Amino acid sequence: MRALLAGLLCIAGLAGAASAEDCTTLATQLEMNDCAARAFDAADADLNRTYGDVVARLADDPAGLGKLRAAERAWVAFRDAECGFAAKGVETGSIYPMILFACRQAMTEDRLATLKGYLVCPEGDLACPVPRQPD
Residue 27 to residue 67: CA distance in whole angstroms:
44
Q: How many CB atoms lie within 10 A of CB 52?
A: 11
Report angle CA 19, 15, 12 to the nearest 5 degrees. 110
What is the per-residue pLDDT across 43-100, written as a single tens digit (0 to 9) for each? 999 999 999 999 999 999 999 999 999 999 999 999 999 999 999 999 999 999 999 9
Task: Give residue 22's pLDDT band: very low, low, confident or very high (50, 70, 90).
Answer: confident
**Which overall architecture, per CATH, does domain 2-13+27-117 show?**
Up-down Bundle (1.20)
pLDDT at 20: 62
Could you tell me the pTM of the whole model?
0.83
Residue 105 to residue 123: CA distance in whole angstroms:
31
8 Å CB contact between 21 and 38: yes
8 Å CB contact between 38 and 48: no
Is the dihedral angle over the CA atoms 39, 74, 113, 62 positive or is it negative?
negative
Angle between helices 2-12 and 29-57 (to 10 degrees): 0
